[in-house]
Structure 1
Amino acid sequence: MLDRRVLQGLLQGLFQRLGNRLREVLLGMLVLTLIVACSSQPQAQQTPTSSAAPVAQLSQLKFGVGPYFPTPGENRKQFEPFFQELAKSVNLPAQITVAEDWVGISEALRSGTLDAAWLGPWGYVLSHHADPSIQAIATVKYKDKPVYYSVLMARADAPFNTLDEAIAQSQQGPKLKLSLADVGSTSGWLVPQDEFKRRNLDPKTVFDYNEGASHAAQAISVLSNQTDIASDYDRNLDVLISEGRIDKSKLKIIWQSQPLPNDPVAVRGGLPPELITALQNALVNLSPEQAKTLLPENYTGFVTSDGSNYAPIEAAGKAVGKLK
């Protein structure tokens, strides 16, 4: 083989002897050869993340729902037909996850494990705060209204009728037992905490305090004398009463919140806009007859949401120090 320096010299001499026009042709051929050679090199492949997957790459829609009913089996029975029909409206099969806690379902949506979820309001606010690309697209109606209420309840024969009376009795001693639900619950934890904050009271000081219970256990714990006061929400009490799990006459409500926005259906970031629009349209156009067939009892459809109706929940989160 020719020495590199010798070859270089021969080429230089050749170029000196060639006319300008031929020189340009040869240079063009060399440049073209280099371009082809470079373009033939293997390129690093960029795999799109699940949160940016277009419709064509979605083989299914992954839905999730929080622990609305006492057991995962009941939860699945109540919500699976709805999610299957919602996925069908956009020509995709559904995969449904039933979460056992409120924080878990919001984390799954934030991580992209789920494409859409039926969340509690506080769970949505937490998810959206951590990842603003998560957006609410609809709010469910309960008995034709997009609002519900947090409550504190006691036994009907308790020697107090209001939260003020309960606080005064507990401060005088002995302390009353107070049970709040898990920290991911809007009505069971956040809103009661916000109420105590508004009153400049620390419930852990005023009461014999406990938190972390499921909503299904709250009324039962009051009726079985395990606690004196427990948090819940009106919709859950309706379910327990209608199923014969509790006797309404043996409970009383000692405090009720202002109206709270009902649960949202939210979608993760990166879903194609046309898919989001199609899902939103399917939700808000759900007829009363379809709602009666597909949704749990007393849920009557959806209204459009852009997330702004959850501002009071965000404000409560900031008030109790859970959001910056």
Structure 2
Amino acid sequence: MKFLRSLIVGVAAFACVAAHAEDPSQDLSFGIISTDASSTLRQRWQPLIDDLNKKTGLHVKAFFATDYAGIIEGMRFNKVQIGYFGNASAMEAVDRSNGEVFVKTVNANGEGGYYSLLITNVNSPYKTLDDVFKNTKNLNLGWGDPNSTSGTLIPGYYLFAKRGVPVTPASFKTLLPSSHEANLLAVVNNKIDVATNNTMEVDRLQQQHPDKFAQVRVLWKSPLIPSDPLVWRKDLPQATKDKLRDFFINYAKTDPHEKEVMKNLTTFSGFVASSNAQLIPIRQVALFQQKQKLEADKNLSDAERKTQMAALDAQLNALNSEAAKQQ
């Protein structure tokens, strides 16, 4: 009888462990876009993930890839269930990977977003934007990841396209796509002429290495970009979504430890609720860029161009209507 009771208890315990191991709501991968080296990102993000696991009972592990596309594709194939993105990569995750924005970051300075920058070394001969655009064929340009908001999408439109300069290898002496961190260090060390970046990375450099910050000159600053979103897969169980949303919205509000984690993580102070609506300005810029490419495409007939342009205009009109509802 004692043996039977022990057997029943053992089987029950095994069943609980097996059920837990098979429960996809408990084991999650948190994808983090490659703004810096994986080792640097892990050092910054792991304390927050540890707190997330402790407070929610979930089992979340960080997932890193060598580029933004790796995180987007990871979410597409359900290898990543939650991720930290920029707005452009979040748009891809929403459109291609069953993603949904649920919170966004809050800047420590109280601003509702951040800015894309074009930077150069303080000793560079390029002192102004006029200097840059008079000499593009002689420039080594540090460019961002193809899915980066501040490294490619925003400067590609607001800085280069509006001046009639396509960002292609033909336009520059050298076009060097890389991470924000690598581009910033290349400028500090005077290895490239100019590079795209953002105020988050440059502000962090100022806080942590003021001597290196002194080597940076800002040549251009973009319109405000909505702060970075966190995206989850829409098919996560509702109970898991509730745990995640509750954790992030309440994180670092009062707890000194949590505030320190955020301080070390980035220039953010916490998170607030958000939705896919924050991607509307990014979608508008992307559609404007598509229209410009259509206008310049000499392989299209007038009829093809007219049809495709009408489709883009319809999408833009729909976005404009949606943006008006959000105001």
Q: Does TM-score exceed 0.5, indicating one fold?
A: yes
Instruction: Please report how far the alpha carbon of residue 274 of structure 1 lies from its aligned counterpart in structure 2 after TM superposition.
Output: 3.0
Match runs of 1:200-215 below 5 Å: 200-204=164-168, 205-215=170-180
From 242, 254, 260, the counterpart of 1:293 = 260
Instruction: Please report how far the alpha carbon of residue 288 of structure 1 lies from its aligned counterpart in structure 2 after TM superposition.
Output: 4.5
Find the counterpart in structure 1 of residue 283 from structure 2: 314
State how far apart, in whole Å, the 2-side matches of 1:150 and 1:125 are.
17
One-letter amino acid matched to 2:142: S
1:60 aligns with 2:27: yes
Rg larger for: 1
Query: Percent of aligned positions with the same letter in both sequences?
Result: 23
Show CA shifts across 1:89-144 (max 9, x none). Answer: 3322222212332221122112210111111221111111224x310110011213
One-letter amino acid matched to 1:96: A
State how far apart, in whole Å, the 1-side matches of 2:104 and 2:213 are.
28
Instruction: Please report how far the alpha carbon of residue 56 of structure 1 lies from its aligned counterpart in structure 2 after TM superposition.
Output: 4.9
1:193 aligns with 2:156: yes
Match runs of 1:1-324 below 5 Å: 56-69=23-36, 71-131=37-97, 133-143=98-108, 144-168=110-134, 170=135, 175-195=138-158, 196-204=160-168, 205-244=170-209, 247-286=212-251, 287-289=253-255, 291-295=258-262, 296-321=265-290
State how far apart, in whole Å, the 2-side matches of 1:293 and 1:148 are.
21
Structure with more of its chain in helix, by fraction: 2
Show CA shifts across 1:9-47 (max 9, x none). Answer: xxxxxxxxxxxxxxxxxxxxxxxxxxxxxxxxxxxxxxx
One-letter amino acid matched to 1:84: D
State how far apart, in whole Å, the 2-side matches of 1:116 and 1:146 are.
22
1:89·1:279 contact (CA, 8 Å) conserved in 2?
no
Instruction: Please report how far the alpha carbon of residue 245 of structure 1 lies from its aligned counterpart in structure 2 after TM superposition.
Output: 8.2
Find the counterpart in structure 1 of residue 322 from structure 2: none
TM-score, normalization: structure 2?
0.73
Show CA shifts across 1:262-313 (max 9, x none). Answer: 2111101211223213311221112143542332143200111112112122
TM-score, normalization: structure 1?
0.74
* Structure 2: runs of 5 or more not aligned: 1-21, 294-311, 313-327
State how far apart, in whole Å, the 2-side matches of 1:151 and 1:257 are.
6
State how far apart, in whole Å, the 2-side matches of 1:106 and 1:245 are.
34
One-letter amino acid matched to 1:279: L
> How many matched pairs?
265
240-249 or 112-121: which moved more?
Answer: 240-249
CA RMSD of aligned residues (A): 2.5
